[in-house]
Each structure stands twice: as C-alpha cells, then as structure tokens.
Amino acid sequence: MCRWCRTWPDLALISISITTIWMTLGYNVLVLSAGVGAIPAEVVEAARLDGATGWRLHSRITIPMLSPQLFFLIVISTIHALQSFGQIHILTKGGLDGATSTLVYWIYEKAFSYGSSDFGTASAAAIVLLVIVLVCTGIQFGVLERKVHYR
C-alpha cells in the first residue's frame, strides 16, 4: 500500500467533521444571535457603567446570559453527532475500511443496504443507540443544567 493511501481514512473522517460543522454552523449562529438579541440593554449598560469592557463584559454578562441557548445547542449537537448518517452516506459510504462508519450507518447497512435484511440486529442496535443518546443527554442535563442561568 502506498504511503498516501494510509492517510485517506484519516482525511475522510476530517472531511466528514468539517462538513458537519459547516452544515450546523448556520443554525447555531441563528440561535446564538437570537440569544444575544434577547439580552436586555439595561444589563449591558449597567455593566459598562461599572467598568466592564471587552473580555470581562463577555465572560461576566454575555456568556452567562446565553447559557440557556448554549445548553440547548450542546445537547442538540451531541444528539446530532451520535445520529449522523446523511453526510457519511453521501460523502464516503462508510469510508475505506469503515473509517467513517458510525452506529447509525452500521444499522443502515444491516437493515437496508446490499440486499441485507437483518432487521432484528438492526433494531437491537437502534435500541442500543437510543440508550446511548439517553445516557449522554442525562449526563449533560445533570452536569450542565446547574450552570444554566434563567432570568
């Protein structure tokens, strides 16, 4: 095998990651810009009168006021990453030697691709995926929700 062929699986995973970030960037910016627009001007003005500028204004006022939106985006992005299928199927179809294959793509291959009809195994794997998503979401709610500041 050539020297460059060994790096293709790594490049495939990086390309999937970049594509996924680009795909979700617009939604994340939209949610965060709506959150920034909802920060009361009085709070920002009071912080500026108290001498907060630059990084201190962002770290003490803006980011804590955006914590509900940030918490939402972290949870949704994690669920989306665990369920990624479309970009993998379109770009690499699992990649070289399964380099970009995920649990969702494996479920698809077991149930629907190449004439396969192993629906029982695919259904069991889907239940495992559901449990993984629930556990990750539960951990995020347990750890991160304490840091969310609602008005």
CA distance 9 to 16: 11
Question: What is the reported pTM?
Answer: 0.81
CA distance 148 to 67: 5
User: What fold does the segment set 8-147 form as a domain?
Assistant: MetI-like fold (1.10.3720)
DSSP assignment letter at 148: -
- State residue 31 phi and psi, 5-degree precision: -65, -45
Question: Sign of torsion, CA 75 78 82 85?
Answer: positive
Closest by Cα among 31, 12, 23, 11 to 73 = 31
**3-class DSSP assignment, residue 75:** helix
Report pLDDT digits (tens) over 40-79: 899 888 988 988 888 888 888 888 899 999 999 999 999 9
Report pLDDT digits (tens) over 77-128: 999 988 888 888 888 887 777 788 889 988 998 888 877 788 999 999 999 9
